């Protein structure tokens, strides 16, 4: 049986999935546009490829046991590119008889109305990106049900941590530099954050557990906290106050006039204006590990920011 695991994407999720697979003794090949990536174990092979090119994907995944989809187009290009992108990866995995593990988010569940989000909740997307994610997830599960490919989906809430340049660069790194951090919505509502090393560990776990396929799994994550409490954890670690700017929907709409990334954030503000709590007990029970405690995750993330400032 092949021990080759092929990961599309060398962003934070791809890197942490690769690190976990290397720990397990697997051979890892990563695919991105440039064929280059830093801060990876020396055992990892990085090759150039275009994930939209189905034929090239077939070549790059030949002989693979498992293929991981950890890449995505720009936030504002999802509708145009994301489903096509996933299909080309899924078809390659199917052609080569490899299993497929997809890194996903929670957009397809829609507004939780204060209820904990669980894997088995129905999809009720009310945003453009939520509908895209729902369609893509349904396509993966249908491919599994039909026997086209054995597939599993791993999901996380808003993630942060080493190698991340979204939440980490906006809401954590500036605190280290004595600058103002940027938060969204309300700071008094409970919110589940995921730690990207845990997300990578989940995907590697799914790819190496036969019983995980055909199912959806949430990343073991720390207990939900308010954004105010998140700031307090940073202040405790830094030993000084942290300056905070909180952007509401109006501010994000204005910023979106000039920045397409900000514009796409507006419809997702519901995650930050009411409780957004994720129940990750399914994976915790099945695989026997919990998410990194939030104070440890903050400490490790700040240490990474110091080293990579």
> Do 65 and 24 meet the contact criterion of CB atoms below 8 Å apart?
no
Measured CA angle at 291 (ends 308, 100), to 5 deg: 85
Report if residue 14 sits inside a domain.
yes
User: Which pLDDT score, from 0 to 100, does residue 252 have?
Assistant: 66
Phi-psi region of 97 (alpha: psi -120 to 50; beta: other; left: phi over 0): left
SS3 18: helix
- State both tokens at 38: 């830093």
Tens of pLDDT, residue by residue over 214-246, are 999 999 999 999 999 999 999 999 999 999 999
Per-residue confidence (pLDDT) for residue 2, from 0 to 100:
65
DSSP sequence for 58-72: HHHTTT-SEEEE---
What pLDDT, on a 0 to 100 scale, did the predictor assign at position 6? Answer: 98
For the stretch 118-138, pLDDT in tens is 999 999 999 999 999 999 999
171 pLDDT band (50/70/90 cuts)?
very high
Is residue 83 in some structural domain? yes
Tell me the average pLDDT of the chain. 94
Which residues constitute the domain of residue 15? 4-159+193-221+277-289
Total domains in the fold of the chain: 1
The CATH number covering residue 80 comes to: 3.40.50.720
CA distance from start to end of the chain? 42
Q: What is the pLDDT of residue 256?
A: 59
Are the beta carbons of 10 and 33 closer than 8 angstroms? no
Asked whether the predicted pLDDT for residue 247 surpasses 80, the reply is yes
Position 61 scores a pLDDT of: 97
Is residue 112, in this structure, part of any structural domain at all?
yes
Judge whether residue 1 has pLDDT over 60: no
Q: What is the pLDDT of residue 73?
A: 92
Residue 244 lies in a domain: no
Is 262 contained in some domain? Answer: no
pLDDT score for 280: 98
d(CA 6, CA 61): 6
What span, in angstroms and rounded, lies between the C-alpha atoms of 46 and 30? 5
pLDDT at 249 over 90: no
State the helix-helix crossing angle for 12-23 and 196-207, rounded to 10 degrees. 50
For position 7, what pLDDT does the model report?
A: 98
Q: Is residue 143 part of a domain?
A: yes
Residue 44's pLDDT is 97
Task: Say if 188 falls within a structural domain.
Answer: no
Contacts for 168 with CB less than 8 Å, ≥ 6 apart:
160, 161, 162, 301, 305
Angle at 203 between CA 137 and CA 19, to 5 degrees: 145
Measured CA to CA, the distance from residue 256 to residue 268 in angstroms comes to: 13
Question: What Rg do the C-alpha atoms of the chain give, in angstroms?
Answer: 19
Q: Is the dihedral of CA 76, 206, 18, 157 positive or negative?
A: positive
Question: What tens digit of pLDDT does each residue of 47-62 get?
Answer: 999 999 999 999 999 9
pLDDT-derived band at 265 (thresholds 50, 70, 90) equals: confident
Q: Would residue 176 count as lying in a domain?
A: no
Q: Is 301 within 8 Å of 162 (Cβ atoms)?
A: yes
């Amino acid at each position: 049986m092949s021990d080759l695991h092929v990961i599309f994407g060398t962003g934070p999720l791809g890197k942490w999935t690769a690190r976990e697979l290397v720990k397990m003794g697997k051979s890892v090949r990563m695919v991105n546009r440039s064929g280059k990536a830093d801060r990876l174990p020396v055992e990892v092979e990085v090759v150039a490829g275009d994930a939209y090119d189905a034929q090239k994907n077939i070549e790059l995944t030949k002989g693979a046991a498992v293929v991981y989809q950890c890449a995505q187009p720009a936030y504002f290009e999802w509708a145009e590119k994301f489903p096509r992108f996933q299909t080309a990866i899924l078809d390659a995995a199917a052609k080569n008889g490899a299993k497929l593990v997809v890194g996903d988010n929670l957009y397809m569940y829609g507004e939780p109305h204060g209820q904990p989000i669980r894997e088995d909740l129905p999809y009720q997307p009310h945003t453009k990106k939520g509908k895209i994610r729902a369609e893509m997830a349904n396509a993966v599960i249908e491919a599994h049900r039909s026997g086209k490919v054995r597939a599993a989906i791993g999901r996380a809430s808003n993630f942060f941590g080493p190698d991340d340049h979204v939440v980490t660069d906006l809401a954590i790194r500036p605190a280290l530099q004595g600058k103002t951090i940027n938060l969204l919505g309300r700071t008094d509502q409970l919110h589940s954050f995921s730690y990207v090393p845990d997300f990578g560990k989940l995907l590697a776990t799914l790819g190496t557990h036969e019983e995980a396929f055909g199912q959806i799994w949430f990343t073991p994550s720390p207990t939900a906290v308010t954004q105010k409490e998140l700031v307090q954890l940073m202040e405790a670690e830094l030993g000084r106050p942290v300056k905070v700017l909180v952007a509401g929907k109006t501010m994000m709409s204005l910023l979106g006039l000039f920045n397409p990334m900000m514009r796409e954030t507006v419809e997702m503000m519901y995650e930050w204006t009411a409780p957004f709590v994720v129940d990750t007990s399914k994976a915790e029970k099945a695989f026997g590990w919990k998410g990194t405690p939030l104070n440890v995750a903050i400490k490790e993330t700040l240490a990474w920011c110091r080293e990579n400032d």
